[in-house]
Structure 1
Amino acid sequence: MQITAQMVKELREQTGAGMMDCKKALVETEGDIAKAVEFLQVKGMAAAAKKASRVAAEGLVSTWISDDAKQGVIVELNCETDFVSRNEAFHELIATFTNTIGPSSATTIEEALELNADGQTLADVLKEGIATIGENIQLRRFERLNAPEGFVANYIHAGSQIGVIVAVKSDKGADAHADFARDVAMHVAAMAPAVLSQDQIDADKSAAQQEIFTQIVIEEGKPANIAPKIVEGKMAKWRREVSLLDQPFVKNPDLTIDQYQKEVGGVQLLGFSRLQVGEGIEKEEKNLADEVAEQLKG
């Protein structure tokens, strides 16, 4: 049977697969569109399994805020290349994930992948996305904040590489404190605090940092009798630097964030979440020839 351009076009519109894959599927199924769709699905699932082992360190961050602004979710979806992260299909994919996870009660990746999105689980949506886009795609993480006595605000940095949600307790409502919340969200995006306040600093991280400072002081040859005081001074500075409330406000460094919220009045920061695409992922270094060769292999 002759495979026409119109048949290939119709199959592409149904599946989103590449032109050559569609033509091959139609040849294999003797022009039967329904069987060709099934053929591509099977082929795509096999390819998806193969691609799932490849490093996905690019991608996008997206946020969801409930209609009443009492809840917010931030999601990171990863792919292998920056080129794909700019693709419209990938943008639609992260929108599906964000808008499905947001209203749900899911708290883990496993729970999220079982959620229903237009008759499919997000796990199946992910597999189809891998098959269609042609790269390993992973739902890496998501975080949720609640503000029953206030609201959740969001900020996405240019390019959707950094996203922030901030939970605020407010006695005046979101309209009165929207500028404050956005200012803080933008500050978090820029300064990347680790915790809201010093009492939230992990004890193990604190101990590890103290050991680092101790070794630095020893290597500098400081006298043994003053070394502990020097270390404690460094620790005090470090605790201020990693705690949001103690950081100088980027728009007005004369104020700390804590002083800023007191100056605004009637508002209290409850928590924040900051996600940066690929943060903490060890990227695989490849040259252009290797990348092209891998793409040709599929």
Structure 2
Amino acid sequence: MQKKIPSENIKDLRSKTGAGMTDCKRALEASSGDVAGAIEILRKKGLATADKKSNRIAIEGLVESYIHAGYRLGVLVEINCETDFVARQPKFQQLAKDIAMQIAACQDVKYVSQVDIPETTVKYEERLELQKDDLVNKSDEIKSKIAKGRLEKRLKELSLLDQSFIKEQSITVGELIKQHISLLGENIRVRRFQRFLLGEGLESKSNNFVDEVSDMINTK
């Protein structure tokens, strides 16, 4: 006999995930009442739904800004959705704010995704890896294998969508966006962004903004 799921548990799961009541009930039943398991089930279903919508045209949206405390670092990011209705939704606007803050915290990020990285940059990074001192005495086969792994890691460091979300390290920014595609029912994409660092190119002084932004988030 299937275990009856209390309505309070269903409502609690709905508040945590934004999924419909029926979906929450089914997920809890499938996980025998385990909330963590139910969340994982809904996440997998949500991501699958998001993948189907990821090719739809997104021309609405908004431009979000983030100015770090001290006014020395700023970010502008354009995030698109399919309709102005979704662009006005608080969840979409919060997503835009979170992504702007993410960009501010990730100084190595230069591109939205790996597919945006120019081939010249990929070749340059590959040459750097192959020329590192610890590979000099390796065979060509081993050298190529190690360099390939390091290159993949480096390309992820340059890609916004591959970053761990600063507010929930267990998911990437790409997965965060897919969750919102499922939640809001429209394709969502980051089109472009620009980071502004006061005095950049004029002085060599640098600050650890990653730690500063993280500390600010944790104190909220």
TM-score bucket (shorter structure):
0.5 to 0.7
Structure-2 change in CA distance of 1:19 and 1:83 (3 Å):
farther
Q: 8 Å contact 2:58–2:187 — kept in the other structure? A: yes
Aligned-residue offset at 1:128: 1.9
SS state at 2:63 partner: strand
Out of 88, 103, 110, the position equivalent to 1:107 is: 110
- Larger radius of gyration between Structure 1 and Structure 2: 1
Q: How many residues align?
A: 149
User: 1 CA distance for matches of 2:34 and 2:102?
Assistant: 34
Counterparts of residues 53-68 of structure 1 (less than 5 Å): 53-68=55-70
Hey, which of these two has a bigger chunk of helix by percent? 2
SS state at 1:109 partner: coil
Q: 8 Å contact 1:79–1:138 — kept in the other structure? A: yes
Q: 8 Å contact 1:66–1:103 — kept in the other structure? A: no
Out of 161, 175, 189, the position equivalent to 1:124 is: 175
Counterparts of residues 81-96 of structure 1 (less than 5 Å): 81-96=83-98
Q: 8 Å contact 1:101–1:112 — kept in the other structure? A: yes
TM-score normalised by L of structure 1: 0.46
User: 2 CA distance for matches of 1:63 and 1:32?
Assistant: 39
Q: 8 Å contact 2:31–2:37 — kept in the other structure? A: yes
Percent identity (aligned):
41
Out of 164, 172, 195, the position equivalent to 1:144 is: 195
Structure-2 change in CA distance of 1:146 and 1:7 (3 Å):
closer
The superposition leaves residues 273-293 of structure 1 with CA deviations (integer Å, 9 ceiling, x where unpaired) of: xxxxxxxxxxxxxxxxxxxxx
SS state at 2:183 partner: helix
Q: 8 Å contact 1:80–1:137 — kept in the other structure? A: yes
Hey, which of these two has a bigger chunk of strand by percent? 1
> In structure 2, what is the equivalent of residue 296 of structure 1?
none
How big is the alpha-carbon RMSD for the aligned residues of Structure 1 and Structure 2?
A: 2.1
SS state at 2:193 partner: strand
Q: 8 Å contact 1:101–1:115 — kept in the other structure? A: no
Kindly indicate whether residue 71 of structure 2 is the aligned counterpart of residue 23 of structure 1: no
The aligned amino acid for 2:26 is K
